[in-house]
A and B are shown apart, each in its own frame.
Chain A
Amino acid sequence: MALILLLIILVLLVVWVIAQFNSLVRLRNQTLNGWKQIDVQLKRRHDLIPNLVNTVKGFMEFEQETLQKVIAARNAAVSATGVADSAAKEGELSGALSRLFALTENYPTLKSNENVRQLQEELTATENKISFARQFYNDIATKFNTAQQVFPGTIIASVFNFRPSELFEVKDAAEREVPSVDLSLKK
């Protein structure tokens, strides 16, 4: 009798461990997917920037330095590795871009140019998509990390070697100053 009871408890325990493990795996995959979504949007931004710079170059002869900075920040961002590094470099790029956008306000001919306007809408959309992808990644990664840290999930997590995901944090103070570009910073 006692043996049967023990067996039942054992089976229940195994089922529970499997369920916990699977939910952690599911969360990890969602987190990875969330990270890829950010990547897709970042890549899109990197592709759009040379286009933008080429289009506005003719109109903004006096702002060569700003344009140079955008290109430099873009190249730095492309070669960034890891979550923290990438977050920092992308933050700098966002800052450089928003300075460029602020400057375009001084050039009425530029603002009325159909090409530039379309590029600007595309970049605004991409900026938004980056911040929303980041927001989603951070939400899901927080969920994943919490699941690993609460008891008894913490036992499963340490046995099967799950590691908490890094959050995409904004460290650059310059980026915090431009809430109109990056909606996620308003929080």
Chain B
Amino acid sequence: MISRNIYEQEGANKRNTLFIMGLFVLFVGFLGCGFDVFYFGFGRGGLDIPIATVIALMIGSWSAVSGLESGASRVLASCDAQPVDEHDPKYQTYRDVAEEMAIAAGLPVPKLYVIPDPDPNAFATGKDPQHASIAVTEGLLEKLNREELQGVIGHEMSHVRNYDIRMMTLVAALIGAVLLLSEAGLRSGRFGFGGRRRSSSRGGAGVIFLVLWILALILAPIIARLLAMTVSRQREYLADASGAELTRNPKALVSALVKIDQSVDPTRSIKKGTACLCIADPLGSNVNNKEGFFAELFGTHPPISKRILLLQAMSYEHA
């Protein structure tokens, strides 16, 4: 990972993201497909159209579309983010730094928000760079100096530029769809699977499919979250790297990360669902700071020590 340069990393991230999106679609389709086979007898003399598969995919795409349209404002409202007044001298530096980073990225300046919370944290959201928002906590503005703030905003601006904000909003919406479907499947399962048909009508392959489907239903919430976390962690590495490309100053982001890491309090005003979007895990869970397989699998963010290491490697290249 360390030997990869920014462009290779960006390419790898795009491929992985497509792969994961594909998995989500397959997964949603598979869940719907099970309904067809076991409830409507699709392919065995029942309905001729895989109606549940179609409905499942429709639910998936509907939540994706509605998530994109209103996801950003819901997220901002949920953590009580206040829009920044254009003339308030208190936020002069914040506005300036955001404008600088927008210029460096060649993008319009995002809408700026402040979250009244003393713990330092920040996130970006929106459906594309033209409709993006960046929110930071009061604590972040207080604790970081100008260059560190620039590092953090540069990191967020690359989330905007790389379309991570769209990706993460989509993934959040799809997780919602998966949860809905698995819930529906498990509830209806209580009334007995395939009650209308004799088990003899099913071959061995049918039984295996049934077992797999029930397993998928039970594991769906976990698998969906795992996928989301994988997406989120890769995006953090990429945003660190391309954020440093914007500021040409990886060291400032390092010292910002150290400061953010030192404040152990969880960011209370940021809800669990928004965790993926933040620069550092707002839940204050220790899992993100441990290295090893478990942490690599379950953290929404890579270990801060590892991120710092990668950034330092980059600053030596610059020096």
* Stretch in A16-24, A69-77, A131-139 touching the partner: A131-139
Instruction: Name the distance in Å between B129's Cβ and chain A's nearest Cβ.
Output: 14
Residues on B with C-beta less than 8 A from A187 are 248, 318
Complex Cα spacing A118 to B246, Å: 25
Interface residues of A in 110-165 (CB under 8 A from B): 118, 121-122, 124-125, 128-129, 132-133, 135-136, 140
In the complex, how many residue pairs between chain A and chain B have their CB atoms under 8 Å apart? 46
Q: Is the interface of B mostly helix, strand, loop or mixed?
A: helix
Complex Cα spacing A41 to B105, Å: 15
Complex Cα spacing A52 to B236, Å: 41
Residues on B with C-beta less than 8 A from A135 are 104, 248
Residues on A with C-beta less than 8 A from B100 are 125, 128-129, 132
Residues on A with C-beta less than 8 A from B93 are 121, 125
| Interchain CB contact under 8 A, A133 and B103 | yes
Complex Cα spacing A186 to B92, Å: 25
The 8 Å CB contact of A129, one of B103, B106, B246, is B103
Complex Cα spacing A121 to B247, Å: 18
What size tier do the contact residues of chain A reach?
A: 20 to 34
| Interchain CB contact under 8 A, A37 and B103 | yes
The answer to whether the Cβ of A9 comes within 8 Å of any Cβ in the partner chain is: no
Complex Cα spacing A71 to B92, Å: 26
Instruction: Name the distance in Å between B130's Cβ and chain A's nearest Cβ.
Output: 15
Complex Cα spacing A122 to B100, Å: 12
The answer to whether the Cβ of A11 comes within 8 Å of any Cβ in the partner chain is: no
| Interchain CB contact under 8 A, B103 and A186 | no
6 A-B residue pairs with Cβ-Cβ distance under 8 Å, sorted by A, are: A41-B103, A121-B96, A124-B96, A125-B93, A132-B100, A140-B106
